Structure 1
Amino acid sequence: MQEFYKKALLALVLLVVADALFAAFFVSRSYLTVKLLQADQSGMHWQYAAYVDASHGGTSLVRIDETKGERLRFGLKLTNVATYPFASAVMVPVDGKGRPVLADWSMYSTITFLAKCAPSNSMVFAISTFDEKVSRLGEFETYRSPATYYSCNSHGVPVSLDMTRLTIPDWWFYNMKLDLTRQGYQLDKVGRLLFGTSSNSPREMDTQVEISELTLRGRDYRYIAALAVILLAGFIAFGVWFFRAHSRALIASLDSRLKKDLALVAYRQLTLEPYKDKEKASVLRFIATNYTNTELDLERVVAETGANRNKVNELLKTELGMTFTSYLNKLRLTEAARLLAEKSNAAVAEIAYSVGYGNVSYFNRLFKEEYGCTPKAFRTLATQQEPPPGCEAGLPVPPADAPR
C-alpha cells in the first residue's frame, strides 16, 4: 500500500501542476484586449467624420486630422449660435471596401484611452448601437447612443469607461417617442464612436483634441467554462482511478497479508514432532485449539498447561515474535478474515463471536488496525477476487485434522 500511496501522491502533484498550467493559459486567454486604432490587431478600418450642430442652425466646427496613425486628432470650435451647440468627431467602422458595418463588441465591457486637449475640457464619449426595433440602418439619430463624460488636459488623462453602464440621453427618447425607462442597450451592433463637446466645454475658442491608446477590454468566459470542464474532468478521472487503484492495491495487500499470516498462525499445523520441548508444544497447541474461547487469557493458558507465565511469553516471543495478546488477536483476526471471505451470508457480529470476541466494536477496531479496512469492506474486496482470498487463491488451508 505504501507504493500505491506514493504513486497516488505523485499523480496528484502532476494533476495539480497540469491544472495550474491549464488555468494560467485559459485565464490569460479569457482576457480580451484589442487596440482599435491598429488595424493589424483589431482587423477594423475606420471612417472619420465631423458631427456638428449645423442641422440645428449652429456654426460649430470640427477639423479632423486624416493622417493615418495610432491617434485620432481633431480641432474644434464650439459657437453660441445654436441653442444647444455641439461639435464631435466620430469613428465609423467600415469593411475593406469602405462600407459601414456593425461591430460586435458583446464580449467587451471596458474601453480605455488617453485623452489630451488644449485647453482643458470636459467632453462626452458615446457609442451608437443599432436597435432592430427602432433604428434605421445608416441613420445614426435613430441608434441608441449611451454616453458619459470624461476630462482631458494638455498632459493627457488616462480614461477607463464601463461601456455597460453608460446613459442614453433623454432627448433621444423624446425624439424617438419612447419611454424613458427603456434604458437597456446591447453592444453586439456598434455603429460608431463619438468624441464630442459637453455643455461645460469652452465656447468661441479653438480646441485641440488627441485620443490615443484606444483599447477595448473584456472577458471571454467560454475559456473559463472550458477550464472548469477540464479541471472537473481531471479530478473526476483522478478520483475514479484512485478508488479503483486503491481497491486493487488493498486487495493485493490483504491477499499478501493473509498468505503470510495464515502460514504463520491460524493454519499452522501444530504437532508435537517439530517441538522436542513438550511444554512448548503443549502451550502452542492449547492456544491454537482454544483461541476462539472468549474467556481465554494468559492466566488460563498457564493454569491449563502448567507452564510458567514468563516462559509462555518468552516462548511466543522467541517462536513468533509476538506477545500472548498479539498472538491471540492474530489467530482470531486471521480466522475472521477467512470466514468473511468464505461465508458471505454470515453477519459480522456472528463471525466476531465465533472467533472469540464478545464485543463487536472492539473486533471492528482491531480488524481495521490489522487489515486497513473494516470487516464489511474486507468482505466486499474479497468478493471482487476470483477466487476470494483464503480459498483457491493459493492461501494455505488447514488440513482436516488440524486443531481448530
Structure 2
Amino acid sequence: MQEFYKKALLALIVLLVVDALLAVFLVYRAFPTQTLMPAHKDGSRWHYGTYSDVAAGGASSVRLHDTSPDRLRFDFKLKDVATYPFVAGDLKLHDDKGQKIHEDWSKFRTISFVAKCSLATALAFEVSAFDEKISKPGKFETYLPPRTFFSCNEQGMPVTLDLARLLIPDWWYTSMKQDLGRQSYKLDKVGKILFGTSAATPHNVDVYIEISELTLHGRDDRYLAALVVIILGGWVGFGVWFFLAHSRALLASVDSKMKINLPFVAYRQLTLEPYKDKEKASVLRYIASSYIDPEMDLDTVVEATGANRHKINELLKSELGMTFTGYLNKLRLTEASRLLTEKSSAAVSEIAYMVGYANVPYFNKLFKDEFGCTPKSFRTLAAQQRQQEQPADSAPSAPLA
C-alpha cells in the first residue's frame, strides 16, 4: 500500500500543478487587456487631432500641447460665442501607410485611463463606431457616437468607463434622420475616440487636459467556464482512478497478508512436536491451542505451563521475533481472516468473539492495523478475489431442455 500512496501523492501533485498552470493561462485569456498608448500593434498608430466650435460660428481655441506617444494633452479656452461652445481632442487609428482603419473592441468591456486637468471639471468621452447601414468609411460624422462623462482634477484621477453603457445623444439622431428609439451600437469597428468638454467645463479661462495610461479591459466567460469544466473533470477522473486503484492495491495487500500469515501459523503449529525442549513445546502448543480464549494472557500461560514468565518472552522473541501480545494477536487475526472468508453469514462481532476478542471496536482497530482495511471491507475484497480466481469453465452450465 505504501507504493500506491506514493503514486497517488505524485498524481495529486501533478494534478495540482497542471490545474495551477491552466488557471493562470485561462484566467489570463479570460481577462484580456490592450494598451492603447503608445500605439500598439501591426505598425498601427494613433493620429492625434483637435477640433472646436469654430466651424459652427464659435470662437473657442484649442491646440495640442505635444505629441507624446504615451499621452494626449491639449490646451483650450471656451468662449461664449457659439450657442454650445465646445472643444475636443481625438485619436484616430491609422495603419503604417497612413490610412484610417477600424479596430474590433467587441471583446472589451471597459476602458481605463488617468485624467488630469488644470481645473477640476467634468469631461466627455466618445467613441466613433462604424455602422454598415448608416456610416460611410472615414466620414466620422456618420458614425454612431456613443458617449458618457467623467471627472478629472489637477492631481490626475483614475477613470474606468463601461463600454456597454454609453449613450448616443439625441442631436445625432436628428441630424442623421434616424429613429430615436434605436440606442443599440456595436464596437466591432471603432475608428476614433474623443475626449471633450461638457456643459460643466469652465468658460473664458485657460485649461489643459491630459489623458494617459489608456487601456482596454475585457472578460470572456468561456475561458472561465472551460477552466471550471477542466478542473472538475480532472478531479472527478482522479477520484475514480484513486477509488479503483486503491481497491486493487488493497486487494493485493490483503492477498499478500493472507499468504504470509497463514503459512506462518501453519508452520508454527506443525513444528510444535519436533522441539527437544519440552518446555518450549509446551508453551507454543498451549498458545496455539488456546489463543481463542478471551481471558488468555501471559499469566495464564505461565500458570498453565509452569514456564518462567521471562523465559516465555525470550522464547517468543527468539523463535518468532514477536512479543507475547503480538503473537497472540497474529494468531487471532489470521483465524479471523479465515472465518471472514469462509463464514459469509457470520457477523463481524460474532467472528470477533470466536477468535477471542470480547471488545468488537478493539478487534476492528487491530484488524485494520494488520490488513489495512476493516473486517467488512476484507470480506468484500476476499469475495472479489475468489470471483477473479474462479476459472470460467467452473461456472454452472445451463440445464438442458
- Aligned amino acid, residue 264 of structure 1: F
CA distance in 2, matches of 1:50, 1:271: 108
Instruction: Report if aligned partners of 1:262, 1:268 keep a CA contact under 8 Å in 2.
Output: no
The correspondence of residues 115-130 of structure 1 with structure 2, limited to 5 A, is 115=116, 120=119, 122-128=121-127
Q: What 5-or-longer segments of structure 2 have no aligned partner?
A: 392-401
Give the aligned partner of residue 334 of structure 1: 334
Displacement, 1:108? 3.1
CA distance in 2, matches of 1:386, 1:223: 49
Q: Establish whether residue 314 from structure 1 lines up as the match of residue 307 from structure 2.
A: no
Give the aligned partner of residue 349 of structure 2: 349
Instruction: Report if aligned partners of 2:115, 2:209 keep a CA contact under 8 Å in 1.
Output: no
Displacement, 1:331? 0.7
Displacement, 1:376? 1.4
Give the aligned partner of residue 146 of structure 2: 145
Change beyond 3 A, Cα 1:169–1:220: closer
Moved more, 239-248 or 38-47: 38-47
Change beyond 3 A, Cα 1:345–1:191: farther
Change beyond 3 A, Cα 1:206–1:337: same
Give the aligned partner of residue 113 of structure 2: 112
- Aligned amino acid, residue 338 of structure 1: R
Change beyond 3 A, Cα 1:327–1:338: same
Moved more, 241-250 or 348-357: 241-250
| Counterpart secondary structure, 1:356 | coil
Give the aligned partner of residue 375 of structure 1: 375
Give the aligned partner of residue 292 of structure 1: 292
Displacement, 1:351? 2.0
CA distance in 2, matches of 1:172, 1:270: 108
Give the aligned partner of residue 19 of structure 2: 19
CA distance in 2, matches of 1:48, 1:272: 104
* TM-score, structure 1 as length reference: 0.73
Instruction: Report if aligned partners of 1:61, 1:78 keep a CA contact under 8 Å in 2.
Output: yes
CA distance in 1, matches of 2:129, 2:345: 75
CA distance in 1, matches of 2:70, 2:297: 94
CA distance in 2, matches of 1:184, 1:291: 88
Instruction: Report if aligned partners of 1:128, 1:146 keep a CA contact under 8 Å in 2.
Output: yes
Displacement, 1:264? 2.0
The correspondence of residues 22-37 of structure 1 with structure 2, limited to 5 A, is 22-36=22-36
Instruction: Report if aligned partners of 2:269, 2:285 keep a CA contact under 8 Å in 1.
Output: no
Give the aligned partner of residue 278 of structure 2: 278
Moved more, 273-282 or 234-243: 234-243
- Aligned amino acid, residue 24 of structure 2: A
State the identity as a percent.
52
Displacement, 1:341? 3.0
- Aligned amino acid, residue 226 of structure 1: A
Moved more, 324-333 or 227-236: 227-236
Instruction: Report if aligned partners of 2:62, 2:76 keep a CA contact under 8 Å in 1.
Output: yes
The correspondence of residues 17-96 of structure 1 with structure 2, limited to 5 A, is 17-36=17-36, 40-41=40-41, 52-53=52-53, 58-60=58-60, 72=72, 74=74, 76-91=76-91
Superposed CA offset, 1:293-313 (max 9, x none):
334344444444444444433
* TM-score, structure 2 as length reference: 0.73
Moved more, 325-334 or 81-90: 81-90
Q: Establish whether residue 243 from structure 1 lines up as the match of residue 243 from structure 2.
A: yes
Q: What 5-or-longer segments of structure 1 have no aligned partner?
A: 393-404
Superposed CA offset, 1:63-87 (max 9, x none):
6799895654655442212343222
Superposed CA offset, 1:361-403 (max 9, x none):
22112111222221112223333435679x99xxxxxxxxxxx
Instruction: Report if aligned partners of 2:109, 2:164 keep a CA contact under 8 Å in 1.
Output: no
Displacement, 1:330? 1.0
CA distance in 1, matches of 2:65, 2:306: 117
